[in-house]
Amino acid sequence: MTANTPQIALVTGASRGVGKGIAIALGAAGMTVYLSGRSASRSASHLRGQLLPGSLAETAEAVNRAGGQGIAVPCDHRDDAQVRELFARIEREQGRLDLLVNNAALLHENLIDPGPFWEKPLELLDILDVGLRSAYVASYHAAPLLLKNGRGLIAFVSSYGAGCYMHGPAYGAQKAGVDKFAADMAVDFEGTGVAAVSLWLGPQRTERTAIAGAARADQYEAFLAVAETPEFNGRVIHALLQDPQLQTLSGQTLVTAELAQGYGISEAEGRQPPSYREMLGEPRTQHPARVI
């Protein structure tokens, strides 16, 4: 790869929200960004009776406008065959991969409703299929392409919900699970130049949180006032990918707001999103023991 060759990324779940913003930020950095998700040209997702805007086609256009190349690939991450073909296409067209952002997750519209888990729909558990299992499958197929470079990154989108009660046990298990994926995959990647990290994002300004925030203003208004934009987190991920010390961070769960301060990254208006470490807890440190 020459100095002028664009780096190649895949962002899963990029039709809208966090994935879309991350993809746009990577495009602004000049990357070629593959975008996966179910909403190819129009959205079919609803929240509180409202249609959630966004599609892969719209995200690809936004990536292009930002200065990168957006490539939309419709893919249902519940279907292993579709995921396998997604990575086969990247290999055919690019021959390698520099960055995988595991962001896709099925978020049920009743996720943030008050009440215990047994009073909510059983389908909340789907986040363990698309969100946890799907991240493993994507990483499995990404690994050979990342290894071709001798350097690369798998980034898992996680949250403080991995360490504290947040939205119930299914959501918490998914976030804790991807943190453990990063820790254990980093062991397998040792010495290869490929890193794996999990990232705790703060509250996000997305189409989904705008609707949820209006419905639960008592709980979310203060958080959303200082919330992060997905583009902010995309800039942090890009800085991580370029960091010469990336390998020293492999396997860790990191707070993006804290990374941003170290990299000199802020929101567009100069605002520095806060870390919620003291309020919501800190990432778990894995025990160094290894049982092979």
Single out the catalytic residue among 136, 160, 165, 171.
Answer: 171
* 171 labelled catalytic: yes
DSSP of the chain? --TTSPPEEEEES-SSHHHHHHHHHHHHTT-EEEEEES-SSS---EETTEEPP--HHHHHHHHHHHTSEEEEEE--TT-HHHHHHHHHHHHHHHS--SEEEE------TTTT-SS-GGGS-GGGGGGGIIIIIHHHHHHHHHHHHHHHHT-EEEEEEEEGGGTS--S-HHHHHHHHHHHHHHHHHHHHHTTTTEEEEEEEE--B-SHHHHHHHHHTHHHHHHHHHTPBPHHHHHHHHHHHHH-TTHHHHTT-EEEHHHHHHHHT---TTS--PPP-HHHH--PPPPP-----
Q: Residues 6 or more apart from 30 whose CB is under 8 A from it?
A: 6, 7, 67, 68
- Catalytic residue numbers read 171
